[in-house]
Amino acid sequence: MRNFKKEVIELAEREKFSIVSSWTEYLTLSSGQSKKYLIAPAGSEALAETHEFFNEDKDDYDEIPEEINGQKVVQIEGEYIVGGPLIINSDYSGLEFDDLSDPELVTWLIDSGWGKLTSNAIIKKALQWEWQE
């Protein structure tokens, strides 16, 4: 059996908003549990709060490190510094599928709002390039 080079492959990203904050959500592809693949939303882990780096004497932020607790910093999202590996969001259901011809895949992409940002062609390319022998 072949395995992914990475545990989670990023296919697309989009900005999400609430009344008080914004964040980046990623569409990911990984190995499924009951079927071959899982396509699901994911996000970065909160590594620290931005206020931890605020210097009151300078009334400004100190330089944000490249890593926090051994995890690579990706960006600042609202009040948080986020990074590390992508984590599949358990609050939203993804879809497990065995191949790109699964009609549920297209339906899921459209219903979840990812259909405008990705396509089966992008997923197929990821499947071709992200395998290790």
**Predicted confidence (pLDDT) per residue in 78-93, tens digit:** 889 999 988 887 766 8
pLDDT digits (tens, 9 = 90+) for 92-106: 689 999 888 888 998
pLDDT digits (tens, 9 = 90+) for 21-35: 788 999 998 888 899
What number of CA atoms fall less than 13 Å from residue 69's CA on the CB side?
9
- What is the tally of structural domains in the chain? 1
Domain-located, residue 74: yes
Higher pLDDT, 3 or 48: 48
Question: What is the residue range of 109's domain?
Answer: 3-127
Domain-located, residue 33: yes
Domain-located, residue 132: no
Which one-letter amino acid corresponds to residue 50? Answer: T
Q: How many Å apart are CA 42 and CA 28, to the nearest integer? A: 6
Question: In which band, very low, low, confident or very high, does the pLDDT at 2 lie, cut at 50, 70 and 90?
Answer: very low
Q: What percent of the chain has pLDDT over 90?
A: 23
Question: In which band, very low, low, confident or very high, does the pLDDT at 115 lie, cut at 50, 70 and 90?
Answer: confident
Domain-located, residue 24: yes
Q: What angle do CA 18, 20, 23 make, to 5 degrees?
A: 55
Domain-located, residue 58: yes
Domain-located, residue 133: no
